[in-house]
Structure 1
Amino acid sequence: MYFHHDWANAGDACEKPFVLIRDHVLLSFASRIAEVDAELAARLTDAEIERIIGLVPDSWLVNEPAFDSPQAYRQGYIDYLKHRLKVRAVFVQEAIRAHAAHV
């Protein structure tokens, strides 16, 4: 989750593939990326994202100039993750491509 180090460009980052997946230590074992994507995406609903991010303590959501409150900070994560889920094909395809090049 590199995006949270640059909230000003988080929206742009959301639409980009994660090219560093090519260096992941477990990439060679990831032979079912598309299948697992379909299974897990069906389980990770918007409500589940909201529930999970709702568990993050307010004390962890401070000192970020892009947000004026823990609630706004939390909403930033929720919005990013919901959108990333919708456009996940961009990083799923990158993972599949990297796996094919790796094995």
Structure 2
Amino acid sequence: MARYLFDDLWYNSTPQQRLSVSSVEGYNVFQGISLSVDDRQKVLNLHLKDEYLSPYLKTNMNLFHLLMMDEQADIKFFKLENGWLFEFDGIPAGPKPFGQQKYDTR
């Protein structure tokens, strides 16, 4: 699924969206793209949170991060030699405190 999504986004991207990066997080990158706000929903529709325990998904985020992703996060999508890499920026590190005592009292 990620292969088809990357190909679609790459061919419909503008030259300003295409990234000239050779490596990210120690992985060799062939192509990279910075997603527009309109295209971010396509990545979120992959439902990465449903693949959290899959052996085919490697992530350094916990399940909270995967559940809290929305269109406000800056998303970069890279094509690697043996897979694809998503880079998410702007995801909250933890839940925001709420209530009078800064936590849920239920």
Q: Same-fold call, TM > 0.5?
A: no
Pick the structure with more strand per residue.
2
Normalised by the length of structure 2, the TM-score is: 0.28
Pick the structure with more helix per residue.
1
RCO greater where, 1 or 2, for CA within 8 Å and sep 6 or more? Answer: 1
